[in-house]
Amino acid sequence: GVHGGIFESLDMSEDAKAFAKRATKDIIKTALDLAVKENALALEHLYHSITDGTPPKQRIAAAKSIVQYQRSPPKIAHVNRNKHNQTPNHPLVRVKLFRNPGGQLWYEGDHGMVSIEGGQVTESRVGLKMVKKKVFLEKETGVVWYLQPWYFNMFHKPWKNAKLLSFDRDIDPSAIGSSEIEVLQKYVSDRIEPDKCVAGSYNFCDRPTVGWMAHWKADVIPAFRFGKIGE
């Protein structure tokens, strides 16, 4: 277990404090890191995500998503932001993406509509609304990447590079961040190989999710204030 003193001053439920004190070895590093930052909400979220049987992928997203409390990040958070940025390890395939009223994502497969989470297949499109974006899917992981129009890519030489975002909210609806990759325009087709993808800059406050002002404060202004990010 963990010495309980570090958690006593945090504004969180007693159940979450008890969980933090007996945290198992595989999550202790995350718990301590968040506690040091006095991010009680993250521990609360992490407590519930683990105790309700949330799968590891969603659990990681849940813990990661709370890091977006960095709406005005200090230098150390800015230069280390890319520890949250994910990049594909498998090919990205162009798909037609749909969303149902509950927010679940589906794509058009060879034998019907396929659920990204769980892999269920159905021939019915009832209640499914097409996402009107250029979308790519890493089928092995279920991670969706959205190709951005050139006018949302002004800092990345849009005449040369394409930018794709993966929204944390697709995994955890409470998340407000996004991962970012760049690909040379000449390599963008119906299939993008992972070795053509270069890590961009992780966004603590994603523009489509929380708006321009929050995005500029959390992700753009720090780049001018603090300079380059780490690897």
List pLDDT tens digits, range 161-190. Answer: 999 999 988 877 778 889 999 999 999 999
What mean pLDDT value characterizes the chain? 77
- Which tops the pLDDT comparison, 209 or 147? 147
Give how far Cα 97 sits from Cα of 47, 94, 131, 213, 227, Å: 32, 9, 5, 28, 36
For residue 84, give every residue at least 6 positions away whose Cβ sits within 8 Å of its Cβ, in sequence order, or none: 64, 67, 177, 179, 202
Mean pLDDT of 56-65: 55
Predicted confidence band of residue 3 (pLDDT cuts 50, 70, 90) = very low
